[in-house]
Structure 1
Amino acid sequence: MTSLTPNTVAADAEGLTLIISGDGIGASSMLQWRGVDYPIDWIVDVDGDGGSLGSAIPASALAIDGTFETVLVTVSTGGAASNPLPVTIFGPGVGAAESAVAGAGGTVTASTGRLTATYTRAAGGYGTLTAVDYAFPTDPLLPPNPISPVAFVDLQLLDGVAGDTLVGTFLPPNPILPPNPVLPPNPVLPPSPIRLAYWTGTTWAPVSGSGAVAPTFSFDWATSSASSATVTFDMTSTPQITALGGTVIAFVSAFAFEGFSAPADSDINVAKAGRAVPLGWRILDLGGNPILNLSSSSVDVSSVRIVCESLSGEAEPLDAYAPGSSGLQNLGDGYYQWNWATEKSWAGTCRLVRFDFGDRNPDGSPIYRTAAFQFTR
């Protein structure tokens, strides 16, 4: 089989007509789709070319359980099966998808707007490569969002084996932040504020390429845009090439915030109005390394009044206060503290304290780390 079109179809389509070409394919041939044989007929007036050989696949054969599924299609003539070619069925959360199949010694490429993957098959048999872009906001079938997601892609290699290689080029959406050529580089974000994380099935973990090399994106602060980064997947990468069974990869902010520590670590912190509240936290990059260079000028602290009835969770009184307000205190190893001055007039109200470290959502709005307070006299 030399060609098969189309190679993508929406899961909610009313059916699919596959147009086939290749040596020895005729009216006696059968097309195999998900283990079911479909007859090959002469399809008249396809794209105005007078007709082509093809098979009609019913809508009932397009159902999928996840966000996408790549089906390997073969044609059988006289009992002999052809080489496989892929068709990707995609759900509503997919923005773009492409698949390709490589046999022994072959190299294929699958490309979308965010991801271009090139796969080389070392052994016999076939490996099936699929690249997927997800629409943003994310599809509800995707795993829980990591810290500050910018975009999501999916990289799948079916039947990959040790000795194969796969090179993925990841391009984040640009500009990442609203361009501002006047301001100097944000002191909070490292030179490359974008990282790659993958979903292990239970948590998000950093992506690393062959030899445990972390991918890097160069960043231009004048345009607020990042270049692409290249990752080589093999048996020394994370994840390994044989573990790419449909791996969601996220472009994420470099920061991981561990939450506020005691005494202000409750769902609702009950505090005496007018006292200084010690707010401590630890901040890491995606690789688990502490961020050591926060400065007072790069941290903005504000608070807003909220309706107390809107709060949920357990309310716990603070068991410690600070002797007075202060700016940022660097305690080392990624630990920081800010003594927050409260006002006596806040008694009987609730407020949300907000910390802005300078990292941003995809639309440029601040990413706030917050804690809820209920004030008493």
Structure 2
Amino acid sequence: MTDVAEIKGHRRTYVGAMPGKLVQCLKKTGTENPLVLIDEVDKIGKGVHGDPSSALLELLDPEQNANFLDHYLDVPVDLSRVLFICTANVVEHIPEPLRDRMELIDMSGYVAEEKMAIAQQYLVPTARKNCGLSEQQLNLQPEALALLIKSYCRESGVRNLQKHIEKICRKVAYKLVQGEVEHVVVDEAALPALVGKPTFKHDRMYDLTPPGVIMGLAWTAMGGSTLYIETALRSTHQEEKPLGSLELTGHLGDVMKESARIALTVARNFLAQRHPDNNFLNTSHLHLHVPEGATPKDGPSAGCTITTALLSLALGRPARPQLAMTGEISLTGRILPVGGVKEKIIAVLKTKHRIRTGLDWLLLVKTGYNRFVVR
């Protein structure tokens, strides 16, 4: 939407003038209190025809929309009883004045079990019907759906999953029309021939993490994911007056870079108190890297993970191989709560971690998971 006239209508002097979408909505529904859904409000454009977001300010403000003026009618229209619902993918892209007039409700993405239920109850039957297939002609096994969700369609929604299922149905329908087969059973082994090689590999890079490597947790638009924090010596050359340094790589944002510098200070202070003879972090040239360098990474939630990785490297002791952690760290070493806990726990479960004391471990600050039951 780039034209203000879409909302406020055209003036009657123009040829082909029409009322705005809101007046048309009231006329179509025949009621003064309809439900109006504005989809993808974060993608509103700004062009030569005006700024639609400024028109939405008047539309969504309950103090002003009681006298909404449509250019075509040129009389005030009462929109105070209309219920507006707006959707957006990235809240930060919504203009700040417009965001202040909204009550924000965060909706997390689907987990694997929910995607499986949606696929079995709706996506697969619909794709079969559209391609003219019966259940006997196409048997899409649950194991194949699970692999499709895990290795091909890691997203918050199910749009990509729907495309893959429709692609499978089309290829099976083509084989049936050509007379190559009478029915097809799609299992895990048959997926690469139908949809190609898996897009996503296994999350675990290390079966046994060496000293200086710790698994962390991240939140992305596609849900939670695991990432490794790797630390190593950048230079083994000994200088007469050594002074330690830290190099950061992995497409890190400014907040994460600050978090790494804070983590180095905390780790140095911890070693000074517990191991006074250990000057490794003060005299060594260190390199900290977060794999998958093409993916931007930012946020403070890797603070405790970076601190642990530096201490593990300095002491030469590897962490538990079944350990994942998340939490922001302060300059005095306190762990602060972070967001996206539900998605991060799901990411741990995807990597076949069992969150249970004594076997596998997930470290969270207590105030970060007070709404979740961790078993």
The verdict on a shared fold, with TM-score over 0.5 as the criterion, is: no
- Higher fraction of helix: 2
TM-score where L is the length of structure 1: 0.24
TM-score where L is the length of structure 2: 0.24
- Higher fraction of strand: 1
